[in-house]
Amino acid sequence: MIASLSGPLHATYEPDLDRAVAVLEGMGFRVRRAPLLEAGRRHWWSAGTAAEIAEEFNALLRDPEVRAVVAHDGGQTALGYLDLIDVEAIAADPKPILGYSDISLLHLVLHARTGLVGFHADLATPGLGGAWQRVTEARRAELERLYSTLLTGTEAIGALPTTPSWECWRAGRVEGRLIGGVLNRVMRIQATRYALPLDWFDGAVLFWEEMGGFASWVWSDLQVLRHCGVLDRIAGMVVGVPHAIEGLGVPDPTLAEIVLDVLGDRDIPVLGNVEFGHAGPNLPMPVGIRVGLDAGQRRLSLLEPAACADPGRTSGQAVSRGDRRG
């Protein structure tokens, strides 16, 4: 199911949504569009009121025919309905939720409240229907294999495909739970009653990306996480490709310099410029599974099957290949 979990569908992006549907159908999934995903429908900056979006989202969570929910886009709405989500429906029938940007809030909150493994992965319209259309056939085939395994596989993906853009900002090797999302959303959620308990960051690998604004905002948001105690607990960090951030590079600091400045003498491995985030397309980052990080070797490995239930916590259920429903 593709749904408007935050921002509206602008009429000019209807062709991108059609292409996203075609990508998912080409991977073998049966796809439906949720009712709020209607071109031109909007309430302020959203697809509907917070209550309307929550009502539709809860209906999808309760519908046994829906095996995964893909957000069509990000936006500025999820903070308005975090308290309206039917967490009991998730516990009764966990299903993958895909998206990034504002959807980071859903991944973090639902993981904290239910253990659901959310997929920081491409959105439908700007991602599957947009960025995926601009890559080589080989890269798109690689992404399709990754996403198919993410949603249906019973084995761990293992090492994500490395490209020359990946950078070791501080060497080291660790294993830990993968937690993160868009930096400003990670920072904001820790200011609410839905904050992840600090001990959930013990030994974790924090991943984050950011778009827009200024380099100084990134520095400030990381400082908030330092003051919250998050940076004192994590074992490693993975940083996505920055997008449209003003004030990065000569004569201003690079993103690596900003990160290392805030980390100070915290000797943890940091891998930078990994392909996830608004720059797109996205490598999948399942929130809550164990990963192996070797920054010196520029390697990030997903050590657990993201779509299979872990006996120790609730997580998304795999979609069988004979019953692929979106």
pLDDT, tens digit (0-9, with 9 covering 90-100), for 60-84: 999 999 999 999 999 999 999 999 9
| Alpha carbons within 13 A on the beta-carbon side of 246 | 3
Out of 3.40.50.300, 3.30.300.160, 3.50.30.60, 3.30.750.24, which CATH number does the structure's domain 158-302 have?
3.50.30.60
**Is 65 in the active site?**
no
* Model confidence band, residue 311 (pLDDT cutoffs 50, 70, 90): very low
Total-model pTM: 0.93
What are the angstrom distances between the C-alpha of 215 and each of 186, 252, 265?
Answer: 17, 9, 21
**Is 101 in the active site?**
yes
Q: What is the DSSP letter of 321?
A: T
Q: In the chain, helix, strand, coil percent, each to 5?
A: 35, 20, 45
Q: What is the pLDDT of residue 307?
A: 72
Domain extents in the chain? 2-152, 158-302
- How is 221-258 classified by DSSP, letter by letter? HHHHHHHHTSTTT-SEEEEE--BS-BT-STTSPPHHHH
C-beta of residue 242 within 8 angstroms of C-beta of residue 210: yes
| Active-site annotation holder among 56, 107, 278, 304 | 278
Is pLDDT above 50 for 286? yes
The alpha carbon of residue 128 and the mean position of all alpha carbons in its chain are separated, in whole angstroms, by 14
Q: Where are the alpha helices (DSSP H) in the chain?
A: 14-26, 50-62, 87-92, 104-114, 137-152, 183-189, 215-228, 255-263
In the β-sheet with 299-302, what is the strand arrangement from edge to edge? 158-159, 299-302, 290-294, 173-182, 205-209, 236-240, 270-274, 167-170
Give the tokens for residue 28. Answer: 């073998």
In whole numbers, what is the pLDDT of the chain averaged over residues? 93
Q: Which CATH class is domain 2-152?
A: alpha beta
| Active-site annotation holder among 4, 6, 46, 101 | 101
- How is 34-80 classified by DSSP, letter by letter? -TT--TT--BTTBSS-HHHHHHHHHHHHH-TT---EEES---S-GGG
Determine the average pLDDT of the residues in 87-91: 96
| Active-site annotation holder among 6, 56, 120, 209 | 209
Determine the average pLDDT of the residues in 112-126: 96
Is pLDDT above 50 for 285? yes
**Is 278 in the active site?**
yes
Maximum Cα interatomic distance, the chain, rounded to a whole number of Å: 55
